[in-house]
Chains A and B, each alone.
Chain A
């Protein structure tokens, strides 16, 4: 008899709107083993091809279903240093699970949920400390401690190199800490996973160091044999429309940093304030937009003082249609369940303010989708004469980001594209500058956590070969 894909228990949508606790509660051991039974153990597994870091999926699932979790952890950690994080934030539907053969006729194996189960188990039981190879005496610097930098640093340290990570904020983790909210990725999971790896491998993390200002790239190159840049794409874009400087207009980065990194949702217990009004518009429909919308709902509910009460409206304003929404399927679904209102085929053309300089509304225009362009996407076009006004008091822009320019100060020869991203070999991460590698959003623009990890991993492999003298620059 065919076993159905196991649902993961979730917090009730009406309850969770009033808290920042994790929404998805995770599998129990029994459910995990039953779900693992569904895997067909393909001889030529397609799922592995879909994983950017090549986790040996059938093997870890087999060990899990046999009840040998320690072995399952070993299979997992052979390729993935941060499974508790990846299991939560990867868009599995377009990666491993999207390739699962079971998905052709029914539902794919819940690989992400199983990965999360194994990762969480390991954080509690710590069965498989990452081991460090004998010291090589080589020094490498990793700039940025987000997914790309962390992965690269861990892989290099495992090979016995002396690794120093430089982080501009006061806490390491990059977008895992400041961007992705607590209810999707609890910060204790991030801290625990990062600290575990860093302690096992003796990685030195220097926080409050802004490369480009505190030290420049050229200075680092004097002290380190290799430098990996994983500084991401943190510079937010604002729409080029009138009114973006009114009070109540924020980038999603600002909003999410206040909420997540600074714990603004706990103000005044924490010092950083964050506020949204009763009528919020989030512009965009990617993961960052979903996060911002769902954080806004929670703030409205928390500020009303009544749990289970949705005391305002959160609109998502997107110029394309439902079918083009780029966010992870599960987050889109969760946002709808929680009551986010979607305004598709709508584009703001002006933000309106009152006499005090606060946002009072937004002028929008209706859009229609044209024929697919070269990239296969149907590009939206404005419908003339369809302008209308939306009453909003908060506007959060989640329109994507580009690489932060600071890292390029005193970094002659580090070539960039016209989009501001770094030119690098996608296989090795080598940039145009001697002994400098890069990976993650700094070369792709805003993408996913796991693709950044994959890039960190590939670069680490090449850096390792270079440091060991096995390949020249």
Chain B
């Protein structure tokens, strides 16, 4: 069992948790992820490592409540324990001095882009960061991102904070600017955002790395549930990734596979909310 040490609430649906897991903290690196299962009846879900503390033996995750499991996790408090925390998984990000790079974090993707930006900065890169969210309340870690960036642009879809635009707009401007050669782009966020980042950088031939978040079960390469189609065949995100060359990814196949269990996800969520309401009512009656 793994104890929740700390919880921060960024918004109604965005939560941070620091969890005791010395075995994972021991070898965690930027770009890797973990598999979490809350309790005996729980499913295994992948979450990216947003930070780690080797001395304390803890790792930090940031997640958005999008369905049953993340909602359940989001309602847990420090001191509570989760059943499974396996990792670190996936290849770490290839950190080198590339020159000037851009890190794009969309929504909850800001969390996993942070350790990558930090490591790239430490490796001597000039780091430009673009962070974006639907609305102001979903934006977080601007200060932390600023600390590891030479330049930072925040945007919201609705203009409630920073620039009113999608992340691809400022990205395109940087790519257009001939004075500053962009060596590489990293993008983490919703699949649809990563697809459009990929489409934006492709005409400029700037190598673009995305961290894919597909459906996973074991996370160790034994099932292929997470497989993704690349130009040169299928690969497993959990062991071959999670980072891939964005320009080789078949985005339509990826988006279609993410939708496969939508009905079941809805059913599970409704059942959970119903149960929570019943429990709430029972407590209210006492």
Tell me the A residues contacting B by CB distance below 8 Å.
Answer: 168-170, 178, 206-210, 213-215, 234-236, 238, 240, 244-245, 247-248, 250-251, 253-254, 257-258, 262-263, 267-273, 275, 356-357, 401, 404-406
In the assembled complex, the Cα of A262 lies from the Cα of B88 at a distance in Å of 21
Given contacts A210-B220, A245-B229, A257-B218, contact A268 B268 (CB under 8 A): yes
Q: Is the CB of B257 within 8 A of A247?
A: yes
- Asked, given contacts A234-B222, A238-B224, A272-B217, whether A245 binds B257 with beta carbons under 8 Å apart, the answer is yes
The answer on a CB contact under 8 Å between A272 and B220 is no
Which secondary structure dominates chain A's binding surface? loop
Bound CA span A275–B223, Å:
15
Which one of A215, A247, A271 contacts B43 once the chains associate, using CB atoms below 8 Å? A271
Residues of B within 8 A of A268 (CB): 264, 267-268, 271
A254-B223, A268-B271, A271-B41 known, 11 other contacts, Cβ within 8 Å? A168-B220, A170-B83, A214-B88, A247-B259, A247-B260, A267-B264, A268-B264, A268-B267, A275-B261, A357-B256, A406-B221
Known: A253-B224, A357-B257. Is A169-B264 also a contact (CB below 8 A)? no
The B interface is mostly helix, strand or loop, or mixed, namely mixed
A268 to B250, alpha carbons, bound, how many Å?
Answer: 31
User: Can you name 11 A-B pairs with beta carbons within 8 Å?
Assistant: A214-B24, A214-B26, A245-B234, A247-B257, A250-B223, A253-B223, A254-B217, A267-B268, A268-B271, A273-B265, A406-B220
A357 touching B252, Cβ below 8 Å: yes
CB-defined contacts of B224 to chain A, threshold 8 Å: 236, 238, 250-251, 253-254
Q: By the criterion CB–CB under 8 Å, are B225 and A254 in contact?
A: yes
Contacts of B250 in A (CB 8 A): 245
CB of B86 within 8 A of chain A?
Answer: yes
Q: A205 CA to B261 CA in the complex, in Å? A: 33
B193 located at the interface, meaning its Cβ lies under 8 Å from any Cβ of chain A in the complex: no
Task: State whether A245 touches B227 (Cβ < 8 A).
Answer: yes
Residues of B within 8 A of A206 (CB): 23
A356 engages B234 (CB within 8 Å)? no
Q: Within residues 101 to 136 of chain B, which ones have a CB less than 8 A from any CB in chain A?
A: none
B233's nearest neighbour on chain A, judged by CB, is A240
Binding site for A on B (CB under 8 A): 23-24, 26-27, 32, 37, 41-44, 68-69, 83-89, 217-218, 220-225, 227-229, 233-234, 239, 250, 252-253, 256-257, 259-261, 264-265, 267-268, 271
In the complex formed, the residue of B with least CB distance to A355 is: B256
Residues of B within 8 A of A208 (CB): 23, 84-87
> Chain A's nearest CB lies how many Å from the CB of B63?
15
The chain A residue sitting closest to B226, CB to CB, is A254
The chain B residue sitting closest to A171, CB to CB, is: B84
Select B218's contact among A169, A213, A214, A275, beta carbons within 8 Å.
A169
Given A170-B37, A214-B23, A250-B225, check contact A272 B84 (CB 8 Å): no
**Cβ contact within 8 Å between B268 and A213:** no
User: Does B267 lie within 8 Å of A404, measured CB to CB?
Assistant: no
Cβ distance A199 to chain B, nearest Cβ, rounded Å:
19
Contact A404 B41 (CB under 8 A): no
- Complex CA gap A257/B217 in Å reads 8
Contacts of B259 in A (CB 8 A): 247
Instruction: Decide: A271 near B225, CB < 8 A? Known: A170-B37, A214-B27, A214-B87.
Output: no
Q: What chain B residues lie within 8 Å of A250 (beta carbons)?
A: 223-225
C-alpha spacing A206/B86, complex, angstroms: 11
Report B-chain residues with C-beta under 8 Å of the C-beta of A178: 218
Q: Bound state CA distance, A405 and B221, in angstroms?
A: 8
Q: How many angstroms between the C-alpha atoms of A271 and B42 in the bound complex?
A: 5
User: Is B86 a contact partner of A258 (Cβ separation < 8 A)?
Assistant: no
A262 surroundings in chain B (CB, below 8 A): 43-44, 217
Partner among B27, B41, B83, B222 whose Cβ is within 8 Å of the Cβ of A253: B222
Q: How far is the CA of A37 from the CA of B84 in the complex (A)?
A: 49
Cβ A275 vs Cβ B264 within 8 A: yes
Residues A258 and B257 in contact, CB atoms below 8 Å apart: no
Whole-angstrom CA separation of A110 from B67 in the bound complex: 51
Inter-chain CA distance A254–B267, complex, in Å, is 21
Interchain CB contact under 8 A, A235 and B221:
yes
In the complex formed, the residue of B with least CB distance to A264 is B43
Q: Which residues of A contact B23 (CB under 8 A)?
A: 206, 208-209, 214-215
Q: Which residue of A258, A263, A357, A405 is within 8 Å of B239 (Cβ)?
A: A405
Return chain B residues, CB-CB under 8 Å to A406: 220-221, 239
CA distance A248 to B44 in the complex (A): 20
Scoring B44, B223, B265 by chain A CB atoms within 10 A of each residue's CB, the highest score goes to B223
Bound CA–CA A178/B228 (angstroms)? 23
Question: Shortest CB–CB separation between residue A63 and chain B, in angstroms?
Answer: 39
Once the chains bind, are A356 and B256 in contact (CB under 8 Å)?
yes
Ranked nearest first, the 7 interchain pairs of A and B with the lowest CB-CB distance are A357-B256, A273-B264, A254-B223, A234-B222, A208-B86, A271-B43, A272-B43
Interface contact A234-B27, CB-CB below 8 Å: no
Chain B residues within 8 Å of A207, by CB: 84, 86
Residue of B26, B220, B222, B228 with highest tally of chain A CB at under 10 A: B222
> What residues of B have a CB within 8 angstroms of the CB of A234 in the complex?
220-222
Q: Which of A215, A248, A404 contacts B220 (CB 8 A)?
A: A404
Max chain A Cβ within 10 angstroms of own Cβ: one of B43, B220, B234, B264: B220
